[in-house]
Amino acid sequence: MGFEELLGVNPFTAIFTLLNTIALFAVLKHFLFKPIEKVMEQRQAEVDRIYDDAETAKADAEASKAAYDEKLAHAKEEAVDIIKAAQERADRLGDEIVSDAKAKADDMIKRADAEIAQERKKAVNELKNEISVISLGIAEKMLDREINEGDHEELINRFIEEMGEDDE
């Protein structure tokens, strides 16, 4: 066939170009640009959501960390308090026990002392009586006569007392 003029006007080419371009525009707009825009929007939304989630999670984590730190500090204080209280109580209890024991021991010693003294007194008195009876018997036998108890009791008692003083 032949060639067209370099600068020739061809209305059919022009019409064809117009229709072609409009068709391409419609196709690209409908099948490429709209879906791409949609996808980009969706992605943006997803990214925003992920960021929001991350921020929420971060805030949560920070809050729980603060709470944990506070609790930990609190727990430490509490532990120190508990130990202190326990120590104080133990000290107090120990003191009480020791002083109690001391008091009891003192009491027991006192009582024992009193008992001892009483026993001794009793023993001394019994011994005195026995001695007086025995000595009366001895004297009776020696004198072979009955000594008037009433007359000589004073004499005997003085004798025993003198003996007791020697005893001590």
Partner 1 sequence: MDVSVTGAYIYFTIPIFGGINITQTVVSLFLVSLILAVAGIVIGRNLSIRPGKLQALVEKLILMLRGLLVDTMGEHNAHWLPYIATIFLSSIFGSYIGLTGFLRSATADVNVVLVWAIMTSVIIAYHNIKNGGFVSWIKNYLNPLNIVGDVAQPISMGFRHFGNVAGGGIITTILYAALSVASTLLLNAISGTIVIPIIMIVLGAALFVWGLKSEKKKLLKKIVGIVFAVLAVFGILQYTAILVDVPILQFGIPAVFSVYFDLFSGFIQAFVFTLLNMVYISGACPPPEENN
Q: Which residues bind partner 1 (CB under 8 A)?
A: 1-14, 16-18, 20-21, 23-25, 27-29, 31-36, 39-40, 42-43, 46
SS (H, E, C) 80-115: HHHHHHHHHHHHHHHHHHHHHHHHHHHHHHHHHHHH
Q: In whole angstroms, how close is the CB of 50 to partner 1 at the nearest point?
A: 11
Please identify, using beta-carbon distances, which residue of 10 and 64 lies nearer to partner 1: 10
d(CA 60, CA 97): 53
Closest by alpha carbon to 131, among 102, 164, 103, 154? 164
Q: For the beta carbon of residue 146, count every other beta carbon within 10 angstroms.
A: 9
Shortest gap between Cβ of 55 and partner 1 (angstroms)? Answer: 21
Q: Which is nearer to partner 1, 2 or 150 (CB)?
A: 2
The nearer residue to partner 1, 46 or 69, going by C-beta atoms, is 46
CB of 52 to partner 1, least distance (A): 17
